Amino acid sequence: MVQLSVDAFSGDDPFHPRYAEARSSTPVWVWVMSLFVVAWAVWYAARMWDVPPEFANTPTYASHAQDAAAATPPAAPTAPLPVDK
């Protein structure tokens, strides 16, 4: 035997919110998929912080390139090479 339950209201029936509510909670797979979508969106946004090298010196990212250059520590001084005479 197949039991069929239909939640529908006709124009003649009064609306009762108790009857309109879902009988079960949100499935776990919906929460898992939502978590994956949010994690992907955070990863994608984090990747957008990296300026591609071809655009690093454009006016849009010029201050970013200057900030990155200022944050880079200077190279350690090297000793002069001996000259043979």
pTM greater than 0.85 (yes/no): no
Torsion sign, CA atoms 12, 14, 18, 22: positive
- Of all residues in the chain, the percent with pLDDT exceeding 90 is 20
pLDDT tens digits, 51-66: 778 887 888 777 655 5
Domain that holds residue 30: 17-62
Residue 79 lies in a domain: no
Number of domains in the chain: 1
Residue 75 lies in a domain: no
Among residues 70, 53, 44, which one has the least CA distance to residue 61?
53
Residue 34 lies in a domain: yes
